[in-house]
């Protein structure tokens, strides 16, 4: 999901709140998703974690969110490069 940039940029935190509110069946409970910001710039950030942790991080704009379906183990390995258990932003 590419987050809106007009009339003003939607933040990752705002988008995650909307997703949480819409997830009535808790299908995303403890499911890891990808949050990206400022791709293509020196400030780029990619994080892979559960919504409950990502909502506390600060992401600049523009941003996007990816909710992956079932993953092949190699895809999971690749995404885990952006999962940081110390809750630090990982620059790629």
CATH of the domain at 25: 3.30.950.10
> Per the structure block, which two tokens stand in for 42?
């020196």
84 falls in which pLDDT band (50, 70, 90)? Answer: low
Average pLDDT over residues 20-40: 87
Q: What number is the average pLDDT over the span 50-73?
A: 91
Q: How far apart are the first and last CA of the chain?
A: 20
User: Which of residues 90 and 27 earns the better pLDDT score?
Assistant: 27
- Owning domain of residue 46: 12-80
- Counting Cα atoms < 13 Å in the Cβ hemisphere of 78 gives 7
Q: How many domains is the chain built from?
A: 1
> What pTM, to 2 d.p., does this model score?
0.78
Q: Does any domain span residue 16?
A: yes
- In the predicted model, what is the mean pLDDT of residues 66-89? 78
User: Does 1 reside within a domain?
Assistant: no
């Amino acid at each position: 999901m590419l987050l809106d940039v007009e009339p003003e940029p939607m933040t990752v935190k705002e988008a995650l709140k909307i997703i949480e509110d819409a997830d009535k069946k808790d299908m995303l409970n403890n499911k890891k998703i990808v949050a990206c910001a400022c791709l293509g710039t020196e400030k780029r950030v990619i994080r892979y974690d559960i919504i409950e942790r990502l909502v506390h991080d600060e992401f600049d704009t523009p941003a996007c969110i990816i909710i992956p379906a079932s993953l092949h183990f190699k895809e999971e390995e690749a995404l885990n490069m952006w999962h940081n258990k110390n809750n630090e932003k990982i620059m790629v």
